């Protein structure tokens, strides 16, 4: 993702400075004019420049004099995915993201972003990776490379493609290496914090350590899953089903090579000739309302399946989202070998 600060210019800069900056931006020719505290004042495009010059403004005029009207914005933590879809369908290419004090936070650039979802993400990356030894003796599994970058980076980049840029990563085994590699996420236009597990906390236990969630929805994903999941479609499906939690499920077809009899009281009621049954397994990716985090005990071993069972026992709706795209759990050597081959052909 491009550094959004390339698009910022101080309101007291001259038009000549603005033109030089616009020239560098090439296809993304828009600047967002800010004050000394990076509060958004307006925007500057080639069209604004032409109109200003026709009114008699000069090359040494301040860029604030060329501003026509405030741009469309996204306020962090206060927008809907429907708003994002509307912007995208209206062919608005670059949209500023501001905080509640009107300060610039990021930009959405639809050349890079598929969406900008109102979701925080928690990436579970604390496991030992026992089945991948000796590869994981000195390198944590999330940092094993698939193609040209580590598994976890594929996951982070996929989240960022859908505008999910508030990210926590749970770490334990060789966690310092993960922190050193991804740092605070600013180089990718993300905000990354780390959740340290002193002891193994299961597949979702570390999520209880998260504080100050920005959005009303939280995505939890395993770091060793390679997928081209459409997170926007997942989110829209979650909303449509009005669930408390939704889990990505992986369909498996089981073909029975014989006729299957359906019996009752030792009588054959019907039969199916060589049927195929479809079952769904847990894909290790969960989308939930943020209040689900309150159900996770602190500093205790707790799996995602425990959370789902608790929700179901409380009468809450837990939905299934059958995946239509690519998914691979990289747990064993044969999976890792398959990932190295598949990455050449997956469309992200």
Residue 177 shares a structural domain with residue 307: yes
Q: Is residue 57 part of a domain?
A: yes
Q: Are strands 94-98 and 104-109 parallel, antiparallel or unpaired?
A: antiparallel
Cα–Cα distance list, 197 to 4, 143, 284 (Å): 33, 18, 19
CA distance 274 to 271: 9
Q: Is residue 347 part of a domain?
A: no
Tokens 């009468």 belong to residue:
315
pTM metric for this prediction: 0.89
The predicted-structure confidence for 217-248, as pLDDT tens digits, reads as follows: 999 999 999 999 999 999 999 999 999 999 99
Q: Is residue 114 part of a domain?
A: no
Please determine, for residue 1, whether its predicted confidence score (pLDDT) is greater than 70: no
Residue 66 shares a structural domain with residue 151: no
The predicted-structure confidence for 112-144, as pLDDT tens digits, reads as follows: 899 999 999 999 999 988 999 999 999 999 999
Mean pLDDT within 147-166: 95
Mean pLDDT within 36-43: 94
Tokens 């616009």 belong to residue:
22
Q: Is residue 11 part of a domain?
A: yes
Secondary structure string (H, E, C) spanning the chain: CCCHHHHEEECCCEHHHHHHHHHHHHHHCCEEEECCCCEEEEEECHHHHHHHHHCCCCCCCEHHHHCCCCCCCEECCCCCHHHHHHHHHCCCCEEEEECCCCEEEEEEECCCCCCCCCEEEEEECCCCCHHHCCCCCCCCHHHCEECCEEHHHHHHHHHHHCCCCEEEEEECCCHHHHHHHHCCCHHHCCEEEEEECCCCCCCCHHHHHCCCCCCCEEEEEECCEEECCCHHHHHHHHHHHCCCEEEEEEEEEEECCCCEEEEECCEEEEEECCCEEEEEEEEEEEEEEHHHHHHCCCCCCCCHHHHHHHHHHCCCCEEEEECCCCEEECCCHHHHHHHHHHCCCCCC
Residue 294 shares a structural domain with residue 150: yes
Residue 33 shares a structural domain with residue 170: no
Residue 196 shares a structural domain with residue 259: yes
pLDDT reported for residue 70: 81
pLDDT reported for residue 2: 57
Handedness of CA 207, 211, 214, 217 (dihedral sign): positive
Residue 37 shares a structural domain with residue 167: no
Two structure tokens written together for 184? 């605070």
The predicted-structure confidence for 301-348, as pLDDT tens digits, reads as follows: 999 999 999 999 999 999 999 998 999 999 999 999 999 999 998 877
Tokens 């504080």 belong to residue:
211
219: containing domain: 119-342
Please determine, for residue 252, whether its predicted confidence score (pLDDT) is greater than 90: no
Report CA 180 to chain centroid distance, whole Å. Answer: 21
Domain stops at, among 64, 90, 109: 109
- How many structural domains comprise the chain? 2
pLDDT reported for residue 147: 93
Q: Please give the mean pLDDT across all residues of the chain.
A: 93
Domain stops at, among 88, 109, 130: 109
Q: Is residue 172 part of a domain?
A: yes
Q: Is residue 19 part of a domain?
A: yes
The predicted-structure confidence for 68-119, as pLDDT tens digits, reads as follows: 888 899 999 899 999 999 999 999 999 999 999 999 999 999 998 999 999 9
Under 8 Å between Cβ of 246 and 288: yes
Domain stops at, among 109, 137, 153: 109
Q: Is residue 196 part of a domain?
A: yes
Residue 135 shares a structural domain with residue 173: yes
pLDDT reported for residue 256: 86
Q: What is the percent of the chain where pLDDT is above 90?
A: 80
Q: What is the CATH number of the domain that holds 62?
A: 3.10.580.10
Residue 94 shares a structural domain with residue 241: no
CB atoms within 10 A of CB 225: 22
Q: 306 vs 259, which has greater pLDDT?
A: 306
- Give the long-range contacts of residues 97-103, CB within 8 A, separation 24 or more: 97/4, 97/73, 98/40, 98/73, 98/74, 99/75, 100/75, 100/76, 101/39, 102/39, 102/40, 103/37, 103/38, 103/39, 103/40
Residue 151 shares a structural domain with residue 218: yes
Q: Is residue 348 part of a domain?
A: no
Residue 158 shares a structural domain with residue 284: yes
Residue 75 shares a structural domain with residue 45: yes
Q: What is the CATH number of the domain that holds 269?
A: 3.90.550.10
Residue 44 shares a structural domain with residue 105: yes
């Amino acid at each position: 993702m491009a550094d959004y600060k390339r698009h910022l210019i101080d309101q007291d800069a001259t038009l000549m400075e603005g033109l030089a900056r616009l020239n560098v931006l090439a296809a993304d020719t828009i600047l967002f004019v800010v004050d000394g505290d990076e509060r958004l004042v307006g925007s500057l495009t080639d069209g604004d420049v032409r109109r200003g010059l026709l009114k008699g403004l000069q090359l040494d005029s301040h860029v604030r004099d060329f501003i026509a009207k405030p741009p469309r914005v996204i306020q962090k933590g206060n927008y809907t995915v429907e708003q994002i879809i509307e912007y995208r369908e209206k062919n608005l290419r670059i949209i500023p993201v501001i905080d509640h004090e009107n300060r610039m936070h990021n930009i959405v650039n639809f050349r890079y972003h598929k969406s900008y979802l109102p979701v925080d993400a928690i990436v579970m990356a604390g496991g030992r990776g026992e089945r991948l030894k000796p590869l994981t003796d000195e390198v944590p599994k999330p940092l094993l490379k698939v193609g040209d970058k580590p598994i976890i980076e594929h996951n982070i980049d996929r989240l960022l493609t859908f505008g999910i840029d508030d990210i926590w990563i749970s770490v334990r085994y060789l966690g310092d290496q993960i922190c050193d590699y991804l740092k605070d996420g600013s180089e990718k236009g993300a905000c990354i914090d780390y959740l340290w597990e002193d002891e193994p906390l299961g597949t979702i236990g570390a999520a209880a350590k998260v504080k100050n969630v920005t959005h009303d929805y939280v995505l939890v994903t395993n770091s060793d899953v390679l997928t081209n999941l459409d997170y926007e479609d997942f989110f829209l499906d979650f909303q449509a089903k009005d669930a408390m939690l939704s889990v990505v499920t992986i369909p498996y077809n089981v073909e029975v090579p014989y006729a299957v009899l359906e019996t009752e009281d030792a009588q054959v009621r019907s039969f199916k000739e060589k049927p195929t049954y479809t079952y769904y397994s847990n894909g290790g990716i969960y989308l939930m309302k943020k209040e689900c985090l309150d159900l996770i005990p602190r500093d205790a071993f707790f799996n995602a399946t425990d959370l789902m069972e608790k929700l179901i026992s409380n009468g809450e709706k837990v939905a299934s989202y059958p995946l239509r795209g690519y998914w691979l759990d990289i747990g064993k050597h044969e999976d890792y070998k398959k990932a190295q081959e598949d990455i050449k052909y997956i469309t992200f």
